[in-house]
């Protein structure tokens, strides 16, 4: 138990510090660690990831709010779209999709090329490869958030790891996207964790989260998220885009390997 708690604390701290500056909670990278290192069973790994987001989220969000970065209607639209989606995703995960290899493959097909594309844009001078217009129509943005919420409910990733690369790929600045994506991740994770807790009462499988590990990882993520959010204003936009692209491509590669094994 002690090794698990300390290991979860360290994993959450490191991952959140690296990912919070670009609006990713770190739960996407915590998922394979939980499965391979800590041996969390499926589908309990999904609500454990959501629990991590709930505990870790306030660290980065408090810092972003203090810096004045958490404002505007982007966060509100993302939250309104992802909230109903995560409930649908949780229900699908428990009753219809206990081994979501198809979702792994779909996520890898989306994130791997998108991550490579973001890296190339970050490394290419702006005058040679201009960014597209970043504004999406409100209904399109809400629909995108709804779809991401469903995927987040299935995987326990909150949705920021998908919304961040897509919106930044559209040309929105990372400094605007990151706080909104983390806000959506926190809100959907809170609702998703509650949904899994209720669904665990109606299922005989491993549906409830690993509470000790979730809180340990989340406590590390709480500290790491604050540090990462504080670090963000000191990083240039190009470096943030490169980091986000590398994270998206790496995650896509990991999920592709898992889906094909």
Contact, 53 vs 158, CB < 8 A? Answer: yes
Question: What is the pTM assigned to this prediction?
Answer: 0.81
Whole-angstrom Cα distance, residue 94 to residue 198? 11
Tokens of 4: 């698990």
**Three-state SS at 11:** helix
Whole-angstrom Cα distance, residue 52 to residue 196? 14
Domain range for residue 98?
A: 2-260
Q: How many domains does the chain have?
A: 1
Contact, 146 vs 82, CB < 8 A? Answer: yes
Angle subtended at Cα 89 by Cα 114 and Cα 260, rounded to the nearest 5 degrees:
50
Query: What are the pLDDT digits (tens) for 205-222?
Result: 666 778 889 999 999 999
Tokens of 179: 């706080």
Residues whose CB is less than 8 angstroms from the CB of residue 210 and which lie 6 or more positions away in sequence, other chains included:
34, 38, 40, 44, 45, 48
Confidence category of residue 31, pLDDT binned at 50, 70, 90: confident
Query: What are the pLDDT digits (tens) for 106-141?
Result: 678 778 888 888 888 788 765 454 555 556 788 888
């Amino acid at each position: 138990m002690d090794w698990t708690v300390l290991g979860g604390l360290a994993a959450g701290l490191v991952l959140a510090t690296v990912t919070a500056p670009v609006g990713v909670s770190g739960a996407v990278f915590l998922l394979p660690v939980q499965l391979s290192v800590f041996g969390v069973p499926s589908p309990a790994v999904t609500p454990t990831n959501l629990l991590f987001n709930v505990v870790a989220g306030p660290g980065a969000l408090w810092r972003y709010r203090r810096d004045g970065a958490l404002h505007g209607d982007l966060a509100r639209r993302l939250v309104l779209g992802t909230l109903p989606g995560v409930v649908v995703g949780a229900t699908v995960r428990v009753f219809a999709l206990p081994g979501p290899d198809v979702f792994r493959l779909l996520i890898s097909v989306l994130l791997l090329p998108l991550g490579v594309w973001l890296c190339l844009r970050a490394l290419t001078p702006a005058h040679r490869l201009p960014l597209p217009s970043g504004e999406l129509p409100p209904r399109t943005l809400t629909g995108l958030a709804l779809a991401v919420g469903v995927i987040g409910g299935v995987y326990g990733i909150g949705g920021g790891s998908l919304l961040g690369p897509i919106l930044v790929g559209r040309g929105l600045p990372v400094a605007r996207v990151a706080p909104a994506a983390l806000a959506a991740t926190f809100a959907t994770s809170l609702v998703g964790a509650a949904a899994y807790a209720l669904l665990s009462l109606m299922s005989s499988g491993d549906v409830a989260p690993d509470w000790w590990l979730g809180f340990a990882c989340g406590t590390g993520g709480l500290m790491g998220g604050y540090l990462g959010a504080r670090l963000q204003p000191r990083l240039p936009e190009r470096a943030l885009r490169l980091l986000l692209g590398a994270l998206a491509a790496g995650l896509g590669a990991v999920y592709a390997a898992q889906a094909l094994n």
